[in-house]
Every structure is written in structure tokens, then in C-alpha cells.
Amino acid sequence: MKLFPYGHATHPQWQMAAGLVLAQLRGCLALPAYASAPTLALLYITDHYVAQAQEILDHLSAELPFITDWSGTVGIGIASNNVEYFDEPALAVMLCELPHGHYRVFSGVSPLPPARSGLFTAHTALVHADAATPDVAELIAEMAARTESGYVFGGLASSRSAVVQFALSGHGNLTGQGAACGVFSGGLSGVAFARDASGGMGLMSRVTQGCKPVSATYEITACDANVVMELDGQPALEVMLADLGVSLEQPREALARVRNTLVGLSRDADLPSDAARQRSGQFGADVLVRHLIGLDPARQGIAIADVASVGMKLAFCERNAQAARADLVRICAEIREELEPEEQTLEVASALNLPEAQSAPHPARRIAGAIYVSCSGRGGPHFGAPSAELQIVRRALGDVPLVGFFAGGEIARNHLYGYTGVLTVFTSAD
């Protein structure tokens, strides 16, 4: 598998940004290391371009007639290799070279068929969703159940205006699409991927957390819907105030600390077994971070932005840039170490250890392209400098093709996360 052509640009006029992106894509297509016959395009735009979404898709698809399938969405920020675009008009495109029979574009107009239908068997899927869709978390879990692996990845579109998604197929995959224009609002859309029996192409995905626990882990022993009333048999509100070191007798100080506090939820079966990660005070991938949305002094309870159940585990946490940086480095290192060969020739070892500025893509990395979906509350501002988050990924993985967006909620496995990053790479067997 060759590298996926990609391009990204910012400009007040979308036509100029599109022209710059097309020039980069054509430059990649002309290079021997890059795929020469891509069929699937991933398109991400910032919300500055929402009103022109249809024009952008029409223009790009006309300029790239060999691309039969399109998928993507909008974010208040978008990402590409080594760079992020926040609060500015920008777009990014990556062209994936995959056999038509190995993927299927889906949307609300043409949903992914159940595995039992025999029409298409999805192993995993890239999912874009509208946060305003009713029961969106349940729909994500249902989508995961339609795949062999039970694992989907992606995020909720984020926008300060309208929310749009791209889903278009000219190869006949979108049965019933009719005269659909390819730009949608509401529901879910994305790309489902089949398992490659030959082993030539694979997908590897990791979740990185952005919060650090500030308390012990408790068991929820009494709750009512989203109100947790007891932790380890003690009044939940008392436990939280003691852990945070505040008192309601000083309400201003207490509320300031509570506003910066979140909760990490998990079940016994989901608790991480990585002892090193537990010692370092980092959450595992199966902890779901949720907001505290209120206090219930009458019942000595705390209200959380999720439905709790007895037996779940809960830890109080807060956003932490150092923990987020360390965990992002960890998942990138895991991917790199799993993909790079244990034994390398001197030429390969030298290429992979070049300084960052010379860290060109190399076949030994076995990464054709990557998709990174991060929380809109992360990005450069959280990591200390513009594009710092994407620079960490580049230093770890090298100069690999990458696109993505900053979401209103991140999707991995069958869960909806918050304050996380989801990094997925297309891998090659050779």
C-alpha cells in the first residue's frame, strides 16, 4: 500500500483554499511513493465554510473525477499533518486508495446494512455524527453492533453555525441515494471498512485521554438516573467536597473548584489492567469523562452528564495538559512500535531516526495515512502552543499523511468520549 495523497490550506476565499489543496494533491499523485489511483476522499472543513459546503464538494469532485466516494464533516477546527486550523477558514482532503469492495459510504439516506443481510460485512467504520441527533450515543452503539469488531471511530461534528456532513458515492454504493447532493444535516454518516482477508490493508486505532484523576476510584452504590447519591456507601456530595478540599460554607471557592471538576466513569469489566498507567495517574481508554452538571444538597448527591448505574466506578478528575501530552505520546509510541519491524537494516534504521525536518515517510513505518479526531477543547491552546498537539503526533509517527477535525465528542469502540483524541492509521502489510 502506498501513501495516501493529502492537502490542506487556509484562505478567506474557499476557491483559493481549494486551489491550494488541489495543487498539493496533484503533486502527491505525481510522486512514486504515493497512491496513483485513489477512489475515496475524506474532506474536512472549518465552520467558516459551512455555507459553501455544497459548492466546495461540487468543485472538488469535478476537479478529481476519478474519486468515486466522498465522506467528511465540519469542525470548529480541522487537522492535518503537523498543523491545526482553529478559528480560520480552512479545508483538508486525503485521498485513500482502497478496493471498492472493501469499503462503503453510508448516511441517513443510505444506512449501513446489517451484517446478516449479506450485502456488505463491515469490520469497522469511520463515523461522523450530529450532536443534535436524538439518542446519538445509542445510535453510535448500534452502529458499532453492525460491525464485526464492535469498534467504530470518529466524532461529533462541531460548528458555531450549521452542521453538515459529506457522504457521496458515484460507484453505486449508496443505494437509494437518488438525486442526493452529498451534503447532509443530522444523523450519522461515514465509511464502513471490510476486513481485508489478504492482510494487505488494516486499521489500527487508539484513544488518548486528556484528564487526570484527582481522587480515588469509588463504586456507585446509590443513584437515580443521572444523580449519584452514594459512593462506597457514603454521601456522594460529601465525598466529592472532601476530595476537592472545599466546603459549601465557602460557596464561591467551592463552586470555582467544582466547575473545573469532571468525573471519569467505567465499569469493573472496563477498568484498565495496565498497572504502569494506573501508577502514573492516567485514565485508561475505557474511562468515559463526563461533566458535573449540578449538586443536589437535599439528597447529598451530584448530577453528572450521563445516566449512572449501581456498580459503576467513578473518579473525580480535571483537565491536565501534562497528562494529555504524556498519553498522546504513549499511544503514538504504541502504534509505531507495533508497526515497525523488530529487525531493521541499517538503511531503514537511519531513515526512521532522521531529524524531524528530514523525517520523510518510509515504507518501514507501514502507515499509508492517518485520521485524528480530537476534542474541540484540546488543540494547541490546551497543549501550550499553536499546532502543538499535531506536532506531537508527527514527531512520533513521522511525516505521514493525516487529516482530521476537532469534535464536539469523540467516538471510539461503541462509546462517546469527551476531552480525548482518537488516532486511527491505515496500515500496510509490507
DSSP codes of every residue in 159-218: -SS---EEEEESSS-STT-TT--SEE-SSEEEEEE---TTSSEEEEEEEEE-EEE-S--E
What pLDDT, on a 0 to 100 scale, did the predictor assign at position 276? 38
Question: How long a stretch of residues is the chain?
Answer: 430
Cell triple for 75: 469542525
Q: Say yes or no to pLDDT of 297 above 70.
A: yes
The whole-number average pLDDT for the span 165-193 is 76
Which residues touch 274 (CB under 8 Å, ≥6 apart)? 284
Which residues touch 355 (CB under 8 Å, ≥6 apart)? none
pTM listed for this prediction: 0.87
| Strand-pair category, 77-80 with 211-213 | unpaired
User: Quick one: which H or E segment has residue 40?
Assistant: strand 40-46
Sheet architecture: strand order including 147-156: 103-106, 188-193, 122-129, 147-156, 410-413, 415-417
Confidence of residue 339 (pLDDT cuts 50, 70, 90): confident
Q: Say yes or no to pLDDT of 92 above 90.
A: yes
**Interhelix angle for 251-259 vs 236-244, to 10°?**
90
User: Quick one: which H or E segment has residue 262?
Assistant: strand 262-266
Q: Say yes or no to pLDDT of 342 above 70.
A: no
Per DSSP, the three-state class of 22 is helix
Residues 99-142 pLDDT 10s: 888 999 999 888 887 666 677 889 999 999 999 999 999 999 99
Radius of gyration of the chain from Cα atoms? 22
Q: Say yes or no to pLDDT of 357 above 90.
A: no
What pLDDT, on a 0 to 100 scale, did the predictor assign at position 156? 97
The whole-number average pLDDT for the span 142-154 is 93
What pLDDT, on a 0 to 100 scale, did the predictor assign at position 380? 73
The whole-number average pLDDT for the span 194-199 is 78
What pLDDT, on a 0 to 100 scale, did the predictor assign at position 174? 44
